[in-house]
Amino acid sequence: MPTRPTGHAPPSPSLTTLFLGFVGIGLSSFGGGLTAWLRREVVQQRGWLDDQQFLSGYALSQLVPGATNVNLTVFIGTQLRGAPGALVCFAGLTTPPLIIAIILSTAYFWMRGMPGEVSVSIALSGMGAVAIGLNLGTGIRLARHGIRRVVPALITAIVALSVGVAGLPLLRVLAVMIPISLLAAALLTPAPDTRPGPELR
């Protein structure tokens, strides 16, 4: 199923549209599931980016300092509308959840020691499980579009097992695997066809 119409790219969204779109993302997502909501809105629903662009932005957002999803939001805004788009997307994503987090955290600490505390903890645990499921679903969808060869699949598996299972430091794993990944990409990318085409008479 294509994520955007074929032919020509859709026009860049207005700053207002970007702000409202990211307000919706910020209000709909929770926990670690933000990446899934970003992809759903930006790629599937709006068609602002395709899966390859989203995956490239996500990879870059993982490598630079800061929260990954905030970095990804800034990347998306910059791609669509430059520096103003980055600022608008950042404000739309962070401002409403920040207000809600302040209100909920105040209520949570106020309920400490009260009978309803256990129910709140159970609800938060349930939301965490949903966030993990959203991340897994997003990873699978992105892998289907961005990993089509054996070597990239092996590199992905090695990084996931090294960090997620073996517990190795992320920076050390990346320091080893990034050069290997770049070398593999250079070796596996076919050379461009430089043969002259047929002459038109």
Q: What is the pLDDT of residues 63-108, one digit of tens each?
A: 888 888 899 999 999 999 999 999 999 999 999 888 888 887 887 7
Task: Answer with the residue of higher pLDDT: 150 or 21.
Answer: 21
The SS3 call for residue 197 is coil
CA 62 to CA 112: how far, in whole Å?
A: 36
Residue 4 pLDDT greater than 50, yes or no: no
Inform me whether the pLDDT recorded for 3 exceeds 50.
Answer: no
Q: pTM of the predicted model, to two decimals?
A: 0.60
Q: Tell me the backbone φ, ψ of residue 57, rounded to 5 degrees.
A: -65, -40
Which residue's structure tokens are 């207005």? 14
Least confident range from 34-43, 135-144, 179-188: namely 135-144
Q: What is the pLDDT of residues 96-109, one digit of tens each?
A: 888 888 887 887 77
pLDDT(188) > 80: no
Q: How confident is residue 196, by pLDDT bands cut at 50, 70 and 90? A: low
- Which is more confident, 200 or 87? 87
SS3 of residue 66 by DSSP: coil
Lowest mean pLDDT, pick from 2-6, 60-64, 151-155: 2-6
Give start and end residues of each alpha helix (H) in 29-167.
34-39, 51-63, 68-110, 117-146, 150-160
Spatial separation of the C-alpha atoms in residues 61 and 51, rounded to whole Å = 15
